[in-house]
């Protein structure tokens, strides 16, 4: 029982750190740059990648930000293309700050994933509190019967 409680508490702390709810954290990632790349000129398949920064446990991290919806209406920033063949695009103000789940080096702003992890955190916290209350009650009953 105690092992399960310790595992649950550690899981809650890990989820707090990943979701940005721990002290000194930000629950958002700031998107700094986005780039469009086309795989070749025949299919013109478009790929986008974004970079940004976020804070976890009071430390600022930078890296890839996954899940940013980059519409084709965002303006290309000259000079283009960049040496790697990509085009930097402007970022709409509404897309610069997004709720995120992050680890050092990478963040995702995919809404369904962010909210799934936050709901899992809330459920795990409730279960940990329930387990702790049951444990305290069983300790009290054991002490009273002695």
What is the structure's pLDDT at 104?
82
111 has a pLDDT exceeding 90: no
Across residues 56-74, what is the average pLDDT?
86
Confidence of residue 65 (pLDDT cuts 50, 70, 90): very high
What is the structure's pLDDT at 56?
79
> SS3 string of 66-132?
ECCCCCCCCCECCCCCCCCCCEEECCCHHHHEEECEEECCEEECCHHHHHHHHHHHHHHHHHHHHHH
- 33's enclosing H/E stretch is strand 28-38
21-36, pLDDT tens digit by residue? Answer: 766 677 788 999 999 8
77 has a pLDDT exceeding 80: yes
66 has a pLDDT exceeding 80: yes
Confidence of residue 1 (pLDDT cuts 50, 70, 90): low
More confident: 40 or 142: 142
Question: Exposure string (b/e) for 97-131, b if CB count within 10 Å is 16 or more?
Answer: ebbbbbeeeebbbbeeebeeebeebeebbeebeeb
């Amino acid at each position: 029982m105690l092992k399960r409680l310790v595992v649950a508490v550690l899981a809650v702390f890990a989820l707090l750190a990943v979701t940005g709810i721990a002290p000194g954290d930000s629950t958002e990632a700031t998107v700094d740059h986005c780039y469009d790349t086309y795989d070749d000129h025949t299919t013109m398949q478009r790929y986008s990648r974004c970079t940004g920064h976020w804070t976890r446990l009071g430390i600022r991290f930078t890296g890839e930000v996954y899940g940013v919806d980059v519409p084709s209406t965002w303006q290309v920033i000259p000079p283009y293309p960049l040496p790697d063949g990509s085009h930097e695009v402007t970022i709409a103000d509404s897309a610069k700050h997004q709720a995120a789940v992050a680890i050092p080096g990478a963040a995702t702003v995919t809404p369904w994933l962010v909210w799934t992890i936050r709901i899992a955190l809330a459920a795990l916290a409730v279960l940990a509190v329930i387990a702790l209350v049951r444990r305290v009650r069983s300790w009290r009953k054991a002490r009273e019967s002695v």
